[in-house]
Amino acid sequence: MVADKNSVSITIRGKKYPLRTGADGQRVRQVVEFVNRRLDDLDRQGGSKQPGGITDFRLVLLALLDLADECLTHEQDLSEIKERSKNLLAEIPSVGL
């Protein structure tokens, strides 16, 4: 069953965007705040001399690359945890009930 989608307006770095989502309002706000913080952090780290920092397009690309790297790292970590769990479970002796 697909959740009903609601139309909401989000603001990323001062620009409003329409969005249709099935997520609840609190989750949308959390995601938007996270994205804005990430973009602001990257903009500050860029140390650009131009007014307004790095162009928004370049900033979004940097954020996407940064988040993709984090996702891949977490996927690898999760895969390693699953493998270790599987190995540990195999070491537990079976108890006949």
Which pLDDT score, from 0 to 100, does residue 55 have?
82
| Angle between helix 56-91 and helix 25-46 axes, rounded to 10 deg | 110
For the chain, domain boundaries: 6-91
Average pLDDT value over all residues in the chain: 87
Compute the average pLDDT of residues 21-32: 93
Compute the average pLDDT of residues 5-12: 92
Compute the average pLDDT of residues 47-76: 82
Compute the average pLDDT of residues 74-97: 88
Q: How confident is the model at residue 78 (pLDDT cuts 50, 70, 90)?
A: very high
Rounded to the nearest angstrom, the gap between the alpha carbon of residue 59 and the centroid of all alpha carbons in its chain is: 15
Compute the average pLDDT of residues 75-89: 96
